């Protein structure tokens, strides 16, 4: 009898505890086994909104040390309006332009149409959890000569190019330019004029994770220009993202630097999945590649340029899963493992687990007081 009581008690604890299984605001159930290493750091806690700064402890990979606005107060965006010449308190531009650490949140759902590209200052977090926040139909964001920036839970779409006097922007959703320690997590990207995410001009210590990228031509560019030698210092972790449907290429395209591309899901690219030029190092580990039906597009990789001799470029695959005839062409000998610093390294899962690990990629719909 005592044994029966113990078994019943254990079963009740298993199915009633929010830290084992709980429904989020979109109605799907988060199970312990379905959360990846980043999400398991915060998503099981229904009180995430009472300690938003704790998110800054959850990054892994090269962007792990990123602080964002962890050392600053909460700033609440109450208005979607934008005035580039005289930003008003309560707007996103006013908060993101402050030269001090801030953790930026949003009072309600809103669509923000930026009139000019918004440069996010150092030590800022833009945290969309608890609201549906779209930055769309105008200029979008840049991280320009900055450090320690976190962008989380925002929907980017239809970003447009433009100019104001000598200032020009090309229509990227997020452009990281000559910056360090940047973490872009759980955002949704689609249909922008230029790139969805660009990491350029000797930027490094970047993690791009848990994002959904769809319906676009040039998804992700890592590296400024083939002739820009300083991009050799670039170190980027691309992790737990979903690429597609409707993407053409650059998932990512890498120039000169190092990219650890791990546990991402690829859905039927239109041209190629992962490309590079100017001697990059690309380590693909534990990804899930589903090739398009076109027999001429089955190859995951595409090498461009060739001035340095593409046979010596170090491109390698490990634990990847290849579906529908997909195949990866390695080069340069054995894999070059990422030289992660203290606390940055993580265990990469087999590619077969990627559909589960990426099942909630993109901007989550979080409700305060409930698991997200």
The catalytic site residues sit at: 250
Distance (Å, whole) CA 41 – CA 37: 7
Structure tokens at 249: 């290429």
Residue 254 gets which letter from DSSP?
Answer: E
- For Cα atoms 337, 341, 342, give the angle at the middle one, nearest 5 degrees: 125
Helix, strand, coil distribution of the chain in percent, nearest 5: 15, 35, 50
- Count Cα neighbours of 99 within 13 Å in the Cβ-side half-sphere: 1
Distance (Å, whole) CA 172 – CA 193: 7
Element at 142 (helix H, strand E): strand 141-144
Element at 3 (helix H, strand E): helix 2-16
Distance (Å, whole) CA 328 – CA 299: 6
Distance (Å, whole) CA 169 – CA 166: 10
Decide: 237 and 208 in contact? Cβ < 8 Å.
yes
Distance (Å, whole) CA 312 – CA 86: 52
β-strands 242-243, 253-255 pairing: unpaired
As a three-state string, the secondary structure of 286-342 is CCEEECCCCHHHCECEEECCCCCCHHHCEEEEECCEEECCCECCCECCCCCCCCCCC
β-strands 21-23, 124-127 pairing: unpaired
Whether the ω angle into residue 245 lies within 30 degrees of 0, i.e. cis, is yes
Q: How far apart are the first and last CA of the chain?
A: 39
- Beta partners for residue 75, in sequence order: 104
């Amino acid at each position: 009898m005592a044994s029966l009581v113990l078994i019943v008690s254990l079963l009740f604890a298993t199915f009633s505890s929010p830290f084992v299984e709980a429904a989020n605001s979109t109605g799907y159930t988060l199970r312990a086994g379905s959360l990846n290493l980043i999400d398991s750091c915060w998503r099981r806690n229904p009180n995430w909104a009472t300690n938003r700064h704790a998110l800054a402890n959850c990054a892994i990979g090269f962007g792990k040390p990123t602080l964002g606005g962890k050392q600053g107060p909460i700033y609440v965006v109450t208005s979607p309006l934008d005035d580039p010449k005289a930003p008003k308190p309560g707007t996103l531009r006013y908060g993101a332009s402050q030269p001090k650490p801030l953790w930026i949140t949003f009072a309600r759902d809103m669509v923000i149409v930026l009139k000019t590209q918004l440069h996010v200052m150092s030590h800022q977090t833009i945290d969309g959890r608890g609201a549906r926040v779209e930055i769309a139909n105008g200029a979008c964001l840049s991280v320009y000569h900055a450090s320690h920036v976190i962008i989380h839970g925002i929907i980017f779409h239809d970003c447009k190019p433009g100019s104001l006097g000598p200032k020009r922007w090309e229509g990227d959703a997020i452009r990281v330019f000559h910056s360090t320690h940047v973490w872009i997590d759980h955002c949704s990207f689609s249909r922008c004029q230029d790139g969805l995410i660009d990491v350029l001009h000797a930027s490094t210590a970047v993690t791009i994770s848990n994002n959904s990228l769809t319906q676009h031509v040039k998804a992700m560019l890592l590296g400024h220009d083939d002739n820009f030698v300083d991009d050799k210092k670039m170190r980027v972790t691309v992790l737990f993202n979903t690429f597609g449907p409707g993407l053409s290429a650059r998932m990512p395209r890498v120039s000169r630097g190092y990219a650890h591309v791990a546990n991402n899901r690829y859905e039927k690219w239109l041209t190629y999945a992962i490309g590079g030029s100017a001697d990059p190092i690309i380590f693909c580990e534990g990804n899930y590649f589903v090739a398009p039906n076109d027999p001429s597009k089955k190859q995951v990789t595409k090498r461009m340029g060739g001035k340095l001799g593409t046979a010596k470029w170090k491109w390698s695959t490990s634990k990847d899963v290849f579906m529908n005839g997909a195949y990866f062409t390695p080069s340069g000998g054995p894999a070059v493992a990422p030289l992660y610093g203290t606390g940055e390294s993580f265990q990469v899962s087999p590619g077969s687990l990627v559909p589960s690990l990426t099942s909630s990629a993109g901007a989550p719909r979080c409700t305060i007081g409930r698991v997200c």
